[in-house]
């Protein structure tokens, strides 16, 4: 009988860390031993992973000894401080903070999307591994941005039925994408505005309560332009030139959770609404018809699928070349499920015995 795998969650007290705790309990990793780690401010906090309750521990150079998988779910400085120790200890690393993107050998992945794209002509068969597939030498995996994954799935399915001439997307981003401090500041700004008090601006350096904005202030802790660039970059990596480029505009919305995506596309041939819905339906996508309430950031909460409503540009025509798609997804849950898919991909590469 083999020993259970050991999994470390670094940044366990973060929003993504807590979501990962929940997702791991219902995953193939559920029987693993878990180590919860975070910075000094979170030490000793109690967290649950499945039916087990454990303490958040201090991180030191020996913390990753015998760890099989290390999920980095906190802020980028925490990842950059500790990931090399995890790598030296032989752990397979999944970085949800995006801190390791661009480092030598680190791959951006979304294992789901490969079945949504036509095969690469240069490969001997559709089942052959892609050139960017991870190997034993891969130092870390960065799960692709959830919006990029959603766009590839939606556009990929449509493109397999009818070629797409042009597509563009306006993306509404929630505060939870930037962690607990961003959530708290949105809440505090809302309260202060209602009581006519000065707004806190430590995180955003601008008003985000009751306001949709295309950029943050110069002193903000995060960059909306960098997030928009990441979506475009990850879409290009995942689509590998097999989908048309999609224009993306990212707006920060005054909501706590859930992405909203307004996707416009023009097709090369007329298509009916039924055909569009049939091409989009499948794993990871739930079609919401006009008879039901539309997807919202509230209805997607806790959902692992992309909720999608489709309508033609001209509702009076039986067929159209122009369609609108309104899609919603839970940013934390969707990102976590993709991270687990990346970890399962790495798990198949690891030997069954301990190698440390």
pTM as predicted: 0.90
Q: What is the pLDDT of residue 51?
A: 54
Are 321 and 8 in contact by the 8 Å Cβ rule? The answer is no
Segment 136-148, tens digit of pLDDT: 789 999 999 999 9
Segment 227-242, tens digit of pLDDT: 999 999 999 999 988 9
Q: What is the pLDDT of residue 348?
A: 85
| Torsion, CA 282, CA 338, CA 213, CA 328, rounded to 10 | 20
Query: Domains in the chain, please, with CATH?
Result: 6-143+336-347 (3.40.50.720), 147-331 (3.30.360.10)
Segment 67-123, tens digit of pLDDT: 999 999 999 999 999 999 999 999 999 999 999 999 999 999 999 888 887 655 544
- Flag whether pLDDT at 132 surpasses 60: yes
**Secondary structure string (H, E, C) spanning the chain:** CCCCCEEEEECCCCHHHHHHHHHHHCCCCCCCEEEEECCHHHCCCEEEECCEEEEEECCCCCCCCCCCEEEECCCHHHHHHHHHHHHHCCCEEEECCCCCCCCCCCEEECHHHHHHCCCCCCCCCCCCCCCCCCCCCCCCEEECCHHHHHHHHHHHHHHHHCCEEEEEEEEEECHHHHCHHHHHHHHHHHHHHHCCCCCCCCCCCCCCCCCCECCCCCCCCCCHHHHHHHHHHHHHHHHCCCCCCEEEEEEECCCCCCEEEEEEEEEEEEEEHHHHHHHHCECCEEECCCCCCCCCCCCCCCCCCEEEEEEECCCCCCEEEEEEEEEEECHHHHHHHHHHHHHHHHHCCCCCCCCC
Banded pLDDT at 1 (limits 50, 70, 90): very low
- Flag whether pLDDT at 160 surpasses 70: yes
Distance CA 139, CA 301 (A): 33
Banded pLDDT at 128 (limits 50, 70, 90): very low
- Flag whether pLDDT at 126 surpasses 70: no
Segment 168-211, tens digit of pLDDT: 999 999 999 999 999 999 999 999 999 999 999 999 999 999 99
Residue percentage of the chain with pLDDT more than 90:
72
């Amino acid at each position: 009988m083999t020993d259970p795998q050991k999994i470390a969650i670094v940044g366990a007290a973060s929003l993504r860390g807590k979501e990962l705790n929940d997702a791991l309990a219902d995953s193939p990793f559920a029987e693993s031993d878990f180590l919860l780690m975070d910075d000094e401010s979170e030490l000793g906090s109690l967290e649950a992973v499945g039916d087990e309750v454990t303490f958040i521990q201090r991180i030191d150079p020996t913390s990753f000894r015998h760890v099989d998988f290390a999920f980095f779910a906190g802020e980028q400085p925490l990842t950059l401080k500790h990931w090399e120790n995890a790598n030296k200890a032989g752990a397979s690393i999944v970085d949800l903070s995006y801190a390791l993107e661009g480092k030598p050998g680190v791959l951006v992945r979304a294992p789901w999307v490969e079945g949504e794209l036509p095969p690469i002509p240069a490969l001997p068969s559709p089942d052959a591994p892609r050139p960017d597939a991870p190997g034993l030498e891969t130092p870390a995996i960065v799960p692709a941005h959830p919006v990029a994954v959603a766009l590839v799935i939606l556009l990929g399915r449509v493109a397999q039925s009818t070629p797409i001439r042009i597509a563009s997307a306006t993306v509404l981003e929630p505060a939870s994408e930037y962690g607990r401090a961003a959530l708290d500041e949105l809440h505090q700004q809302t309260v202060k505005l209602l009581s006519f008090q000065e707004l806190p601006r430590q995180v955003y350096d601008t008003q985000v309560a009751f306001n949709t904005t295309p950029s943050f202030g110069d002193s903000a802790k995060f960059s909306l332009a960098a997030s928009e660039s990441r979506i475009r970059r990850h879409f290009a990596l995942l689509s590998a030139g097999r989908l048309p480029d999609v224009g993306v505009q990212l707006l920060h919305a005054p909501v706590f959770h859930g992405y909203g995506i307004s996707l416009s596309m023009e097709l090369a041939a007329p298509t009916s609404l039924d055909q569009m819905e049939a091409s989009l339906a499948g794993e990871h996508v739930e079609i919401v018809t006009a008879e039901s309430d539309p997807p919202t950031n509230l209805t997607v909460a806790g959902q692992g699928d992309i909720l999608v409503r489709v309508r033609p540009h001209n509702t009076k025509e039986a067929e159209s070349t122009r369609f609108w798609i309104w899609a919603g997804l839970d940013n934390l849950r969707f990102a976590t499920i993709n991270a687990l898919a990346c970890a399962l991909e790495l798990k198949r590469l690891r030997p069954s015995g301990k190698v440390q």
